[in-house]
Amino acid sequence: MLSLALLAVVQTQPVNKTFEYVASQKLERVNVAGSFNGWNKDKDALKLRADGKTWAVTLPIPPGRHEYKFVLNGSDWILDPANKNSADDGGGHVNSVFVILPKGFESAAKVGDGKVTLEALSHIPKVPSLNFDQGQLSLTFVARTGDVQKVIFETAAGEMATMTKESGDELYTTYRTELSWNQIRPLPYRFTVVDGPRRVTFGASGANSKDFFKITPKTFTPMKVPAWVEKTVFYQIFPDRFENGSKANDPEKTEDWTTGIPTYSNWFGGDAVGIQSKIPYLKDLGVNGIYINPIMEANSNHRYDPSDFYKIDPPFGTNEEFIELTKALDSAGIRTVLDQIFDHVGIKFGPFLDVLSKQEQSKFLKWFFIKSFPVSVKQNPPYEGWFGTEYMPKVDMMNPEVRKYMLDSVTYWMKNAKLSGWRMDVANEVPNDFWRAFRKHVKAQDPNAWIVGEVWYNAAPWLSGDQWDASMNYPFRDKALGFIAQGTTTANQFVNGLMQVYNFTAPQVSRNQLNLLSSHDTERFIHVAGGNRDLAKLGAVLQFTWPGAPSVYYGEELGMPGGRDPDNRRPMDWTKANAQNDMLSFYKKLIKLRTTNQTLQSGSPVVLSANDSQRTVAYARVYGNSSVITIMNRSEQPQKVTVPLARLNKPALIQAKTNGYLDALTGTRMKLNASNGLTVEVPALSAIIAVNPTGGISKPAKLSQNLLEKQ
């Protein structure tokens, strides 16, 4: 998928695009919803033309790859019949796709022709393009893909370094360089783009300028995120489906745990007492954090329609029981991150009930987006609802009274429960100004509290230090689905895509991302993989060896199946939690490796090889003089794979030569070959995780300024 982060960096101008739908029946309205408007089915309405059947609208769309659907009469989502290009969104849905090329891309790019697309060149001297992390200053530069031979970084002192090509897509490629900086002396720098005989200098004034960017400790503040997150393996719990510990709080007509079939409206009785009873299981599994879906009083089994932000939903338990649960988890070394909604409420929310009762006379009118009176709960409601639904009225987070209510509720729970962070639902639909206030409010109470937002695409606009610490990394999941679960992308596309997602944000943010394969909103990974347990294990290997905090969706470690919602929310199958379950033992091994190996927690990723014909990839995590090499075989046959290690830094390569590696999954020892690489046999649909026998180290090795060549 095209990097929307890169598009934001190069600041390309929107292009007008016309959407047309020819109706075969009479319709009340037609809207277009897509990645360009937050999938808002009510936002962009098409107008009926004079022929009485053609609906159309012209919208300014930013360049890049976009997905969309038409929405008929506010409820029927369909593909564009006139567009044959479509793609699976990773959530079990197929959308229509189009690509808009940026200005300057009218003619094809060619390396070495002396022509450079100036409009594509970009460097913005702030996070993530300019970043300080683990003692190193990293800088990235963007150019058009397939357009230039190299990009050179240079300082005012005449030091130079050819930048490394890190990742790219069909439009843009990212180049990176790193150097040590003592955060004391100013650093003037610029770039030179080389293609054939042409050299384009890119300075503070843009292309063809020779002035220098200049950073100083006063003008550049390094971004900080909670350090504990990259050391954490999370376990996601959907509360009603994990464990029923108390029959006393069960809702009426609670389903049988083993025979009931999940629907959008039925209950199974999972509660706080049930989770607390399974703390020994979580400890034995090895996880050290849980992300728990909403538990506030609500009207639904998913509780994303809260009616009281200060009260635990009775079927889950009492306030006291939840507070006790968080303390018990903390005592067991397991942090709690709580899911909360700051975009909408349920129809039983007190202020909304007041509006329904008093109509125009209600003092809470400005808490909501009322369109007309009388206000009643019905389809196509007279108020704005999330996704247009009548049972989730949106609240105005710019209203000071609403904001105070929400932030005060955050204070209440952080003071009373043992919470380590917040996961925010549909966070891309909440005003950025609120997130800035939210961050200040949360960090004032606990500077190490983690703030993670839900957004299904590149979250870079929220991850520059003033709003969130991380996001749910659905783009990472997309790459895992394409290569591993579905087998639809090549090895090179896979590793390039992983690096592209990694480069969306600063490295410390990428290590803070919540990396998931499955969630309550998606088909389970093993389901997308056709039930293949080997592919599910391969996906887990990626999740536990790539930068970002792994998030295991409850039952994933047992190989539980599950298609689209609500099938993906089946009750936990405790009968599978036994010593004979090879998936469970595999997960335990991966979790222990991840929570004990500092290189897998804090190391930088380095792509070592990708072979499209073999369908094999190899990448490293490097931290100082320690490295962990992951070699994956996605093919149906065993493969002999030779992995060059030249891209490791010098200290890591020296240790690799001295000590070799140990396969963490089998215990097999491996020595480097004559070319200082690894040659290994990898069974079909499996992986090798090669670790240094001495393990990780406590500090990363700092790059020396003299790595830049004086020219």
Beta-bridge mates of residue 551: 234, 516
The size of the chain, in residues, is 711
Nearest to 271 by CA among 575, 571, 573: 571
Nearest to 537 by CA among 565, 562, 517: 517
The residue behind tokens 């290590």 is 511
Measured distance CA(240)–CA(572) in Å, rounded:
10
Annotated catalytic residue, options 425, 523, 556, 557: 425
Contact partners, residue 575, CB within 8 Å, separation at least 6:
258
Pick the closest to residue 301 from 243, 241, 389, 347 (CA basis): 241
Q: Tokens 């408007």 sit at which residue?
A: 37
What CA–CA distance (Å, rounded) separates 662 from 691?
5
DSSP readout, 413-479? HHHHS---EEEETTGGGS-HHHHHHHHHHHHHH-TT-EEEE--SS--GGG-SSSS-SEEB-HHHHHH
State yes or no: is 425 an active-site residue.
yes
Helix (H) or strand (E) holding 306: strand 306-312
Residue 384 bears catalytic tag: no
The single residue of 454, 469, 478, 556 carrying the catalytic annotation is 454
Rounded Cα distance, 391 and 386, in Å: 8
Q: Which residue has the tokens 């600041």?
A: 11
Other beta carbons within 10 Å of 197: 8
DSSP track, 126-180: STTTEEEETTEEEEEEEEETTS-SEEEEEETTSEEEEPEEEEE-SSEEEEEEEEE
Reduced to 3 states (helix: H, G, I; strand: E, B; else coil), residue 527 is: helix
275 SS3 class: helix
Q: How far apart are CA 469 and CA 556, in angstroms?
A: 26
Query: Which residues are known catalytic residues?
Result: 425, 454
